[in-house]
Homo-oligomer: A and B are copies of this chain.
Amino acid sequence: MEQKNMNWMKTIGSAILGFGLITSVFASTGPEPFYGVHQSGISTPAQLNTYFIAFDVTTTKKEDLVKLLKDWSDAAVDMMAQPEQFDKNADPTKIPRKSGASVGLSNAALSITFGFGATLFEKDGVDRFGLAKKRPEALVNVPVFTGDQLVPERTGGDLSLQASANDPQVVEYVVRRLAKLANGVAVMKWAQPGFNGAFKAGETGRNQMGFKDGTLNIPTKDVKLMDKHIWVGNEGPSWMQGGSYMVIRPIRISLDHWDDMNLAFQEETVGRHKSSGAPIGKQKEMEELGLKRTDAKGKPVINEYSHSAISSPENNEGTQILRRAFAYDNGITKVNERWPPWRQLTTFDAGLLFMCYQKDPRTGFIKLFSKMAQIDMLNQFTTHTGSALFAVPHGATKGHYIGQDLFED
């Protein structure tokens, strides 16, 4: 790769590192490592682009599944180590191993993350691959929450695959190459690309609603907090130790509706000032929420049903999750699950591709969201249209594939 391009990557890398983190950390400027205690794409600083695909396994043979995980791991090693290049001396009469669609692009801090859904362990009462006994208790069936408008085309899946990088053509190339390896073994069930704006280094990014998003997220460099809340420890099976559980939910946001609300109501709903990101009545983004503050009439300064109050650790017995969300935008649609047709039957099919990681979803997202789903003021503008939970096993070491100790121990 030419020096010029490397320099470009460094600036891109540093441009996005503040997203969703409290403190300014340094994003990786080169390739992310595939091998390690943890899979890439969890504590990796959020990139500009992502592509998520859930698969249903169609084979009935365990060895096919194992071969797929080996193939996926090998391809991920190759793609994460270096930008795509054409195979030299490739036999022109053979099908090329790679599409070439990202040749000339950097691999753009590519991370690739694989996960296993509950249905891989047991589906419709069938223990398809002899894994039923190994299903971790934490890999629960996610409940349907108040207000959920889940569609099958955005829900569940036996396997999850996510590629994230600072280039939309790179993530598309990566998932296409990996999806091709699944032919005959698994079929794509649902997929969603996503993006982040290129916010400045050290600055919390804004979401589509115009608010800073991720101010209170866990700083991924804080090993203690990550071990406490995010990484599975010795309470889990060995194949999950160093792994985490990922909840993913495409959340349609009624952006038209939201944009028609006055500023004061928007701020009350979020519990923060729009411009500064500071808690209501405060000046700076990083100040404590101060939920016990009351006004002259004894009313809480931050509405107790605001998104910030409802989701705060202090109102949830210290519960914390690692949000790693992207925006999504599929253009417009005539389908509008929940709201009246604000724009004459068409609306943006856009919102949040919500993803979060936690040590245990029962004490993480499910605990947090059970209450939020009922009373968060923000729910007036959001519709959860899909839902899935995946066990994301620990990272692989050289010579091993993702999930190996689940299948071979």
A residues touching B (Cβ–Cβ < 8 Å)? 2, 4-5, 7-8, 11-12, 15, 48-49, 51, 53, 58, 86, 90-96, 98-106, 108, 153, 166-170, 172-173, 176, 179-180, 183, 187-193, 195-201, 203, 205-211, 255-256, 258-264, 266-267, 274-275, 327, 329-332, 334, 343-346, 348, 350
Contact = CB atoms under 8 A, between A and B. Distances in A.
B191 A332 contact: yes
Given A93-B263, A96-B266, 18 more contacts: A4-B200, A11-B12, A53-B331, A86-B275, A92-B264, A99-B209, A99-B255, A106-B198, A168-B197, A170-B197, A172-B327, A173-B208, A179-B343, A180-B256, A180-B259, A190-B331, A330-B330, A330-B331
A47 B372 CA distance: 39
Contacts of A96: 210, 259, 262-263, 266, 274
Nearest to A191: B331
A104 B200 contact: yes
Nearest to A171: B329
Nearest to A205: B104
14 contacts: A5-B15, A11-B12, A49-B168, A86-B275, A90-B263, A95-B259, A96-B274, A99-B208, A99-B255, A99-B259, A100-B274, A101-B210, A191-B332, A192-B331
A8 B11 contact: yes
Nearest to A104: B199
A141 to B, nearest CB: 24
B262 A94 contact: yes
A140 to B, nearest CB: 26
Contacts of A51: 329
Contacts of A262: 92-96
A183 B102 CA distance: 40
Nearest to A173: B208
A211 B170 contact: no
Contact of A103 (B102, B105, B106, B210): B210
Contacts of A264: 92-93
Contacts of A258: 99
Contact of A105 (B167, B169, B191, B198): B198
A188 B332 contact: yes
Centre residue among A49, A261, A264, A343 by max chain B CB count within 10 A? A343
Contacts of A259: 95-96, 99, 176, 180
A104 B259 CA distance: 18
Contacts of A173: 208
A233 to B, nearest CB: 35
Given A192-B331, A197-B102, A330-B331, A86 B11 contact: no
A187 B256 CA distance: 13
A343 B12 CA distance: 35
A336 B355 CA distance: 29
Contacts of A102: 197, 206
Given A4-B201, A5-B200, A343-B183, A206 B53 contact: no
